[in-house]
Amino acid sequence: MELYYNIVSPPCQSVMLVAKKLGVTFNVKEVNPHVAEVREEIRKYNPQHTIPTFIEDGHVIFESYAIAIYLVEKYGKDDALYPKDAKVRSVVNQRLFFDNGVMFPSAIAYANCLLKQKKQPTQEMLDKLTKALGLLEGFIKERGSFVAATHLTIADICLLSSVTLLGGLKYDLEAYPAIKAWVGKVTGELPDYAAFRKELDEKSLAYIATL
C-alpha cells in the first residue's frame, strides 16, 4: 500500500490516524503537492493531483473520507470505527459530511487567512467558524463523549484533524468545554498519538517558516 501524504495536511492526518488505529502501515511518500513535479507525479494516479492519494495493487483512492472508509471496511477487525447498523452509520456519515462541508472549510479558511494571507480573518470567517464549533459542541454533548456514537468512529478522527488545526494556531477553545474534553478522549484512544503530534508540530512550524 502506498500513500502520497504530508502530515501538515489535516485530511492526510485523518487517514494516517485511522490507519494507526487499525494497525495498518503504508509505504509513505511524503510530498509537497505545491511543487509542480510532485503534482505531475500524483496526476498519473489522481487527476485532481491532491493528497492524500492511496494506491493498493493498482487500486487508487483519493479524498480522505473515502480512503478512511475503505481501510476500515477492508482491514477493520470489527465495524466499530464505521458501524454497519444503518442508523448509527447514518450519523457517522452525517458527521463526516459536516466536517467536509462545514467544519474543515471554516477551519482551513481561518488558517489560510492568518498564515498565507498574513492578515486577520474577516468577521464572516469568524462567524462561520464559531457556528461550526458550536454545532460540534452540540453533537458531542448529544452523544456523550464522541461525535456520532457511544464509542470512537472515523467521524471523531476526521473531525479531530480539523480541530487540531485550530489548536496549532492557539485558537481559544475555552468556550467549548465538550470539544476540549472530546479531544482528550479521542487522542487517548489513538496509538502513539504523542509521537504523531510531536512530528506534526515540528513539521507544521517548518512549513509555516516557508510561507
- Give 93's contacts (C-beta < 8 A, 6+ positions apart): none
Q: Give me the active site residues, please.
A: 9
Q: What whole-number distance in Å separates Cα of residue 198 and Cα of residue 204?
A: 10
Helices and strands, number each (H, E), in the chain: 9, 4
Q: What whole-number distance in Å separates Cα of residue 137 and Cα of residue 152?
A: 16
What is the 8-class DSSP label of residue 120? P
Q: What whole-number distance in Å separates Cα of residue 211 and Cα of residue 204?
A: 11
Peptide bond into 121 cis (omega under 30): no
